[in-house]
Amino acid sequence: MYAVIKTGGKQYRVAAGEKIKVEQIAADVGQEIVFDQVLAVGNGTELKVGTPLVSGASVTVKVVAHGRHDKVRIFKMRRRKHYQKRQGHRQNFTEIEIASISG
């Protein structure tokens, strides 16, 4: 069984037992969270698609860890204008494990 959930402005296809990294969630490590924004639920050949959400469907997840992604380096330059700008960014993430899918 799998589901398509929406969190942090992105959509993720998840199945029970998977670990994924999503945008940072304000929750403690070990805490269980319920996502109710489920866009689709599938089981083999059967697929329920919501309009826009599937009513009564939810995904229970457990927070595994918090962290930061690798640094993304930004470099801007204008040729012949003596302009160079260097910048870096590290995005925060929350690693979650999918406990169960209902719906």
Span 2-24, average pLDDT: 96
The residue segments making up the domain with residue 93 are 2-102
Taking residue 21's Cβ as centre, other Cβ atoms within 10 Å add up to: 15
Q: What would the DSSP string read from start to end of 58-88?
A: EEEEEEEEEEEPPPEEEEEEETTTTEEEEEE
pLDDT given at position 103: 81
Instruction: State what percent of residues in the chain have pLDDT above 70.
Output: 100
Query: Is pLDDT of 3 > 90?
Result: yes
pLDDT tens per residue across span 41-84: 999 889 999 999 999 999 999 999 999 999 999 999 999 999 99
- Whether the pTM exceeds 0.75: the reply is yes
Domain count along the chain: 1
Mean pLDDT over the full length of the chain: 96
